[in-house]
Structures are given as structure tokens and as C-alpha cells.
Amino acid sequence: MTMAVPVTAVQQVLQSEWTKIKSVRSTVWTLGIAFVVTVALGALISALTKKNFENLPPKDKITFDPTFTSFAGMGLGQLALIVFGVLVVSNEYSTGMIRTSLAAVPQRGIFLFSKIVMATLFAFAVAMLTGFVSFFLGQAMLGSLKASLGDPGVLRAVIGGGLYMTLITVFSMGVATMLRSPMLALGILMPFFFLISNILGHVPATQKVGRYLPDQAGQKIMQVVTYDSEAPYGPWGGFTIMVLWVVAALVGAYVLLKKRDA
């Protein structure tokens, strides 16, 4: 007969994970870097776009998306969130503290749940702030080309930007739990999101496959102007695909954490 885990025990594990994240400066710094890089690069590209808008080809002017332009820094900023997600999970493996943690919390599902929840709350707060600041500052740089938060689809895109960055973090935590090694996890995730996904998404022979990768599909939620008419899904369809990737990563993390030794 399986005994229920007391609520107070879960609260204690959650508090423990909260303390762990706050006490490791490197993890907190990565969140700050994600914010600064995303906002600054988005503002810079928005300003450059405003300056050179008249020189753009007619097709680019028609499909211009001021909201998505303000999120231009997110591709680079998400790399810092990947580092955050990996470090939150892998720090204990690299230091050997995972044995102590699992001895203190033998219910591995509760242990993983608490770690994911606490890190997600950190990431969500920073990601939502980043999304809104990037939007407002980017629109200020765009001047007369700007969009308004009340325009159709804009609020969804801004909130979606925060959700996208949060899900990237959670996906990274799932992968890091499966791999256990921070170097291995970063060695796979960083080039995948920074290089491989972009290549697969832009090479004609692999474009159809690339559309179903987590970042390519998830970024659809941030678009107000649809310029990829061949994509077989809309903003929420792409977001759903990304959620499925995240769920798969978390399920894999839970299964492997349950089966193997620390």
C-alpha cells in the first residue's frame, strides 16, 4: 500500500530547492544575463530596422512584424536560460550532492517536481518581465512603425514570448536530468538551439522537419504577422508542439531518475 506524501514534506522540499537556487550565484546571474541580452539586442535591432526600413524590399515591408522584431534578441537570450536550466539540475551531479539530496528526499518524483517547480517560477518571472520590457523598448525604438499592446494578437505574442522562454528553461532541465553531466547537456543543447535548429529550419531539404523542433514551433506564438504561409500550424499549434517536447523531456527525466542510481 502506497502512503501519501504529507503536504508539509512537499513544502519543505520546495523550500529547500528554492534556497539552493538562490544560494548559487551562477544560476541567478544567468537569469540577469538573459534579461539584459534579450532586451538590449531587441532594442538595437528595432532601432536599426527603423533606420533602414525604407531600404527593405517590398515583400519584407508587407510582412514586417514590429512585435516579433522587438523579440529579435530572444534567440541569443534563450542561451542564458538554457545554461540556467542545466545548472539548476546538474550542479548537484557535478558536486556529488545529488546523493545527499536523494537520501534526504527518497521520493524521486517529489524531488524532481520540486526542483522543476522552483526553477520554473524563477524563469517565468524573469521571462515575463523580459517579454514586456523587450516589447515596450523595441516599439519605442521603432517609432512610427510600432505596434500597440492593444492591437490584435500583440498581447498574445508578448505573453507568448515569456512562456516561450520559460518552456526553453524547463526543456533544458529535463534534458539535463537525463544526461546528468552539465558539460554534456550544454554541449548538446547550445549548438542545437544556436546552430542546428536554424540550419534545419532554413535549408529547403530539411525545412519541413525543422518546423517541428521545439524552438522553431514555439516561436510561432510570438508572431503577429504570419509570413511563413507553408507552416501547417498557427501560433497556438506551434506552442502546443513545444509543450509536447517539454512534456517528453520531463517524462524522460522522471523515468531515468527513478531507474538509475545517483
Q: Write down the domain spans for the chain.
A: 24-259
Tens-digit pLDDT profile for residues 153-169: 999 999 999 999 999 99
Closest CA to 69 of 85, 92, 46: 46
Tens-digit pLDDT profile for residues 56-68: 888 888 889 999 9
The HSE-up count of residue 49 (CA atoms within 13 Å, CB side) is: 26
Percent of the chain topping pLDDT 70: 94
Amino acid making up residue 147: A
pLDDT at residue number 1: 39
Tens-digit pLDDT profile for residues 172-229: 999 999 998 889 999 999 999 988 998 888 888 888 888 999 999 999 999 998 765 6
CB of 182 within 8 A of CB of 124?
no
DSSP code string of 1-43: -PPPPPHHHHHHHHHHHHHHHHH-HHHHHHHHHHHHHHHHHHH
CB of 134 within 8 A of CB of 42?
yes
The pLDDT of residue 262 is above 70: no
CA distance 230 to 242: 18
**Grid cell of 201 as nine digits:** 529550419
The SS3 call for residue 227 is coil
The pLDDT of residue 132 is above 90: yes
Question: 106 vs 204, which has greater pLDDT?
Answer: 204
Question: 47 vs 100, which has greater pLDDT?
Answer: 47
Tell me which DSSP letter residue 232 carries: S
Tens-digit pLDDT profile for residues 27-45: 788 999 999 999 999 999 9
CA distance 253 to 25: 25
What is the H or E stretch that residue 65 is in? Answer: none
Average pLDDT, the chain: 88
Percent of the chain topping pLDDT 90: 59
pLDDT at residue number 227: 65
CA 38 to each of CA 84, 88, 157, 225, 239: distance values in angstroms, whole numbers, following the listed order: 15, 21, 15, 21, 20
